[in-house]
A and B are shown apart, each in its own frame.
Chain A
Amino acid sequence: EADIYQTPRYLVIGTGKKITLECSQTMGHDKMYWYQQDPGMELHLIHYSYGVNSTEKGDLSSESTVSRIRTEHFPLTLESARPSHTSQYLCASSDPLEVGSGYTFGSGTRLTVV
Chain B
Amino acid sequence: KNQVEQSPQSLIILEGKNCTLQCNYTVSPFSNLRWYKQDTGRGPVSLTIMTFSENTKSNGRYTATLDADTKQSSLHITASQLSDSASYICVVSDRGSTLGRLYFGRGTQLTVWP
Contacts and interface: CB of A to CB of B under 8 A. Distances in A.
Nearest to B47: A102
Interface residues of B, number: 21
A42 B107 contact: yes
A104 B102 CA distance: 13
Contacts, number: 48
A42 B43 contact: no
Interface residues of A, number: 23
B104 A96 contact: no
Interface of B: 4, 34, 36, 41-46, 49, 51, 89, 99-102, 104-107, 109
21 contacts: A6-B43, A40-B107, A40-B109, A41-B106, A42-B89, A42-B104, A43-B44, A43-B102, A45-B101, A45-B102, A88-B41, A100-B51, A102-B46, A102-B49, A103-B46, A105-B36, A105-B44, A106-B43, A107-B41, A108-B41, A108-B43
